[in-house]
Amino acid sequence: MPALTRKLDAKALDALDPALLARPLAYILADHHRQRGLCSALEALSEQSPPDRALLAQVLHHLETEMARHRADEEEDLFPLLRARARDEDIERVLALLTREHRQDEIDTRIIAEGLLDVRERGDTGLDLDLCERIRLFVRRQRRHLAVENAIVMPLAEARLAAADLRLIAENMARRRGLPAPPAAPQPPSRKRK
């Protein structure tokens, strides 16, 4: 196993506890943490020759499966409900930007996954310069994207979405993952819609 030049959280890309789906905003935030872990893992892979096969497999799974689920969680559930509940007209610009970035993410994750599959098949070489550059740009955009979501979208969702909205999001997220609907999470007593 090659020595990693970056310190990686060994569990950063592990599957999330399905029980967390009962609190869908917490699940999305935890998924954002995994995406930051993905960024670090991609950077590590770009520095390894040959790349760590276990890390490569985890990254490929995340790119090919988890990223698409996460985009669907946001675009099919969170963003539409937030548009319906938010009173701030600027949120539409933010959500439109994030949706456009999701389209670019789809392209980049496909290209990066194809490049990593090629590296896995070759087995004995590191990533080529074009793939490393694609990863560098993807990682930079992802980190900025996550910062916007965590600083603007998630606090607004916490403030504006009702218990019924959160229940609907939780049910759809569970269905997307082939899981039964989670039990309703108790709402904190201080939760107020502004």
- Could you read off the pLDDT of 71-113 as tens digits, one per residue? 999 999 999 999 999 877 779 999 999 999 999 999 999 999 9
Neighbours of 154 (CB within 10 A): 18
Residue whose token pair is 């569990």: 11
Superfamily for 20-176? nmb1532 protein domain like (1.20.120.520)
Inter-CA distances, 123 with 10, 57, 59, 60, 134, Å: 22, 12, 15, 15, 20
Q: Which ranges of 48-178 would DSSP assign to H, the alpha helix? A: 53-61, 67-72, 79-85, 90-122, 129-148, 154-160, 163-176
Contact 6, 43 (CB under 8 A): yes
Domain spans in the chain, listed from the N-terminal domain onward:
20-176
Neighbours of 45 (CB within 10 A): 25
Interval 173-184: pLDDT, tens = 999 999 999 987
**Contact residues for 84 (Cβ-Cβ < 8 A; gap 6+):** none
Residue 63 has pLDDT above 90, yes or no: yes
Note the pLDDT of residue 88. 76
Helix and strand counts by DSSP (H, E) for the chain: 8, 0
pTM for this entry: 0.88
